[in-house]
Amino acid sequence: MEVDVLELYKKFLVPMTPEPAVAGILSVIMSGGETTQDMADVVARDPEISEWLKLTLSRMGRSGKNQSLEYMVSILGMNRVRNLVIGRHVERSLVSEENSVLGKLIAERSKNASSGKDEEPEDEEAKIIPELSDFSKYIAFAQRAENVAVELKYSHPGQAYAGGVLFDYLATYFKQIEDFDKKVQNPMFQKPERYIENIFNDGLRCAVAADEVIRFISITYQKNVFLSSLVRNIGKLILLAYDPKGFERTQKNYEEAIAKNIPARKHEFEEDEFDFDHAQITALYVGRASCFRGIEKSLDYHHNPRLLKSRDKELHALSSVLRLAGLLVNQYQEFRKQEADIGKMPDARITNSESYKFLRLTNDEWQEVKNAYAMNLMRTGL
């Protein structure tokens, strides 16, 4: 089924696009220079969250005379407030009020009141407010990506966090779909949370590989490498949500081609089915938020970086890094099932690729990339 672009935007891209407030704070986080004032400025535009912070401090006995938002953010912790802001925005976009954190708390209070276990709140201090940590469940992928970046001493962990947020939007979206397992037959897709996990982990591995590659080269988009690598295949999740049966057909057709020893690339079957592949959908989605603009083309062409060669040499370089990292990830994931020593991995297909030749890594540098990549997989449990 050919993609209906208007429907795609209405049902998927718009609801899962970070709100301006979220995009603003992600932009600051991505730059690595966020301050309590930056966070306070975002909270100031959100009366609901401002009230929650005020009441939380009051119940901690820390309200005092200073009621400034910057003071509240400082006391409660900038990362806790960041997670609250982004988690609540994800919830607002995709979760019905009755199923929201606050909605469930209110329902529980009403149930207790009707059974005589609790009384109605009498003053502001008794108002129902969520715990700040309650919203961490909506940003699990963002936190995991950030933790991996920190563990590897990556220079821009905020980029990893921001990329993870996009996975959190999609994970939350899928949780709202009832009986998704009845829409498909392939076990790979019947539990979408597992498929999201697979795409996310593949993205993390690609980010780890790309981070090693750029230690030996210099490109303008150096700081965007982790983010771009992490989200490069997120369009697969959107296509699965858009048309589960159609996306399942692309997998079936690909597997049949491979079984017949027909050279095949999975994204080509997506184009046959939808007239779009996941790379194009990824670029559409990522470009929706201002904080991610500038890298869309590198994502769009990460299967064919050469198409960017005469258009934008810097994005061509970024796309080439993504392509090379992806080739390394795919080759080693298959190889490591039988042999853990990456040095024994046959990699002629990688080193003969256009991307490898364009990036001009020496043989010694490539060996260092591979060895460091394998070690970092072990460090992070990937």
pLDDT digits (tens, 9 = 90+) for 219-270: 888 888 999 999 999 999 999 999 999 999 999 988 888 888 888 788 888 8
The DSSP symbol for 155 reads S
d(CA 52, CA 62): 14
- What pLDDT is recorded for position 111? 82
Q: 193: part of which helix (H) or strand (E)?
A: helix 192-213
d(CA 206, CA 327): 9
d(CA 154, CA 189): 32
Phi then psi dihedrals of residue 311, to 5 deg: -105, -45
d(CA 350, CA 336): 16
Tokens for 220, please give them: 């303008």
pLDDT digits over 32-56, tens only? 878 899 889 889 989 999 999 988 8
d(CA 15, CA 57): 32
Choose among 320, 238, 250, 246: nearest CA to 279.
238
Question: Residue 95: exposed, middle, or buried by beta-carbon count in 10 A (0-12, 13-18, 19+)?
Answer: middle
- What pLDDT is recorded for position 124? 57
Tokens for 319, please give them: 């796309």
> Is there a contact between 264 and 249 (Cβ–Cβ < 8 Å)?
no
Residue type, 236: K
| Alpha-carbon distances, residue 264 vs 229, 259, 324, 367 (angstroms) | 22, 10, 18, 28
Contacts of 254 (CB under 8 A, 6+ apart): 264, 266, 269
The DSSP symbol for 18 reads P
Choose among 79, 254, 249, 288: nearest CA to 170.
288
> Is there a contact between 16 and 234 (Cβ–Cβ < 8 Å)?
no
Residue position matching structure tokens 């959908």: 281
- Second CATH level (architecture) for the domain 177-380: Orthogonal Bundle (1.10)
* pLDDT per residue of the chain (382 residues) written in tens, 0 to 9: 778 888 899 988 999 999 888 888 898 888 887 889 988 988 998 999 999 998 888 888 766 666 789 988 999 999 999 999 999 999 999 999 999 999 888 888 888 777 665 555 555 556 888 988 899 999 999 999 999 999 998 878 999 999 999 999 999 999 999 888 888 889 989 899 999 999 999 999 999 999 999 999 988 888 889 999 999 999 999 999 999 999 999 999 888 888 888 887 888 888 999 988 999 999 999 999 888 888 888 899 888 898 888 888 889 999 999 999 999 999 999 899 888 889 899 999 999 999 999 999 999 999 999 999 999 999 999 9
- What pLDDT is recorded for position 367? 95
pLDDT digits over 172-202, tens only? 999 999 888 888 889 989 899 999 999 999 9
Choose among 167, 196, 206, 165: nearest CA to 319.
206
Q: Which long-range contacts (CB under 8 A, 24 or more apart) does 279-282 make?
A: 279/232, 279/233, 279/235, 279/303, 280/235, 281/3, 281/8, 281/235, 281/238, 281/239, 282/231, 282/232, 282/233, 282/234, 282/235, 282/238
> Is there a contact between 308 and 279 (Cβ–Cβ < 8 Å)?
no
The greatest distance separating any two alpha carbons of the chain, rounded to the nearest whole angstrom, comes to: 75
Q: SS3 for 251-320, per residue?
A: HHHHHHHHHCCCCCCHHHHHHHHHCCCHHHHHHHHHCCCHHHCCCHHHHHCCCCHHHHCCCCHHHHHHHH
Q: Domain residues of the chain, as ranges?
A: 22-120+133-161, 177-380
